[in-house]
Amino acid sequence: MLLALLACVGEAPSAPPAASPLDAGWLATVTNRPEAFTELVDADRDAWVAVHRNDWLAAAGSTGPAGVRARAGLCTTYTVLRDIHAEAWKRLGEGWEALGTVPRGSPGPAYLVGAAEGRVGPDARGQDWAELVARWTPRVDATRAAAFAGSPTEPFGTRRAARLAAGSLEELRRDVPAPLEEEGAGSQRRTFWDPWHLAALARVSCAPEPTPEGLAGALFSAQLGAPGQPLDVALSAWGVAIPAGDDDLQSCREAARAIDDQLAAWVIHVTPSAPEAGRALLGELRLVDRTRGAALVQLATEALGSDRPRCALAYAELARDHADGRSITPVNSPTLYAVLAAANLYTGHTREALDALEVLVPAFPEVQGVDETVGDLAVLETLHRSGDSREN
């Protein structure tokens, strides 16, 4: 599919630009100097292969640059998932309380405070979250409240202490995911999942480490321009303005389409003169599709961070390879699905968030807790509705 972009029936760019930021980037390096790619990858083949197929968990154990890159991918993914968990608990807790059906002594408030604590750290930085923690802490039962003060109560306090102390991904991923606590039985059963797990995974995978230099720091990344050049600067050099401010999904869709045009133009421009091995890498490893997807996911992540969830959703949907849209693949990364889930959640489409989370669960069983919590929220949000069903 090199180039599906080329094969399009759509309007082809009339003339390739004389120079593109991509000429200074890793895509050009791999295409024009495939030996540089071979040399890098052969030094840590298994890990780079895993990075390429977005199997970051497999690559994260590498001590080389591929490991650093995989951990960076996990950092973004776990951070988005951590925030989803906190947001879901926030809305679930407040909605549940409004219904008046939180049983006396329920663990619910403690889990809400735990998820909020995971979102912002033990000192609850961030005004909104600090307020949430302050509002809910008095409703936490005495035993679990002691856990927040460091008392090793079972199982809540013990787990909290373990998560705060955890120092490695392996340690955090060793547990078989299961509810930390349950209350009731049968149809009255309620399950509560570790509220700190994703936060601890985010913390560990986001631990600062030196960024690899040169091709090792950029290979398979969203980077469009010269090494170290921020995405928006490269796009600006292309004349692609990334909408900021309003959360206008149409502007964001158009920006994404402008990126497509530039990538298509660059492929036309670069491939005739590239060595055969470089062209083969470009095509067989789907490097253009992959880079396009990664760039759009990065834009989606940034849009989420600037409170523009509709744009995030637009970018993420355009990033997704729909032909294999429910698997983790070289084009569809774990971050893509995490961002899709978050963008849906933040735009009120809670049920649709579950479609994206479900893709992550087989590879990331630790997502099961957030999947269940978002599911509880989805149920809460439709509790008063009577459904509609149709044939076909």
Interacting residues toward other proteins by CB under 8 A: 1, 4-5, 7-11, 92, 95-96, 99-101, 184, 186-191, 249-250, 253, 257, 260, 317-318, 321-323, 325-326, 347-352, 354-355, 357-358, 372, 375-392
The answer to whether residues 92 and 373 touch, using CB atoms and an 8 Å cutoff, is: yes
Q: How far is the CB of 16 from other proteins (least distance, A)?
A: 16
- CA separation, residue 380 to residues 107, 182, 360 (Å): 17, 18, 23
Residue 350 CB, nearest approach to other proteins (Å) = 8
Q: Closest CB to other proteins among 259 and 270? A: 259
Of 86 and 378, which CB lies nearer to other proteins in the complex structure? 378
**What minimum distance in Å lies between the beta carbon of 7 and other proteins?**
6
Whether 121 and 238 have beta carbons less than 8 Å apart is answered as no
Q: Which is nearer to other proteins, 50 or 264 (CB)?
A: 264
Residue (75 or 377) nearer to other proteins, CB? 377
Give me the amino acid identity at 67: G
Query: Residue 387 CB, nearest distance to other proteins (Å)?
Result: 3
Cα dist. 233→223, 226, 258 in Å? 10, 10, 15
Closest separation in Å from C-beta 167 to other proteins: 32
Return the number of the residue (202 or 303) whose C-beta is nearest other proteins: 303
CA-to-CA separations, 255 to 10, 15, 143, 323, in angstroms, rounded: 16, 19, 52, 22
Q: Read out DSSP for 172-219?
A: HH-SPP--SEEES-GGG-EEE--SSHHHHHHHHHT---PPPPHHHHHT
Identify any residues that bridge with 362 across adjacent strands, giving them in sequence order. none
Asked whether the bond before 155 is cis by omega within 30 degrees of 0, the reply is: yes
> In angstroms, rounded to a whole number, what is the distance separating the alpha carbons of residues 376 and 96?
10
Q: How far is the CB of 178 from other proteins (least distance, A)?
A: 13
Q: Which is nearer to other proteins, 20 or 344 (CB)?
A: 344
Tokens matching residue 156: 């809540």
Q: Report d(CA 293, CA 339) in Å as an integer.
A: 12
> What phi, psi does 230 have (nearest 5°)?
-60, 155
CB nearer other proteins, residue 206 or residue 352 = 352
Q: How far apart are CB 69 and other proteins at their closest, in Å? A: 27
Residues 201 and 138: their CA atoms lie apart, in Å, by 28
Considering the complex, what minimum distance in angstroms separates the CB of residue 326 from other proteins?
Answer: 6
Nearer to other proteins, 93 or 225 (CB): 93
Read off the tokens for 242.
Answer: 């990334």
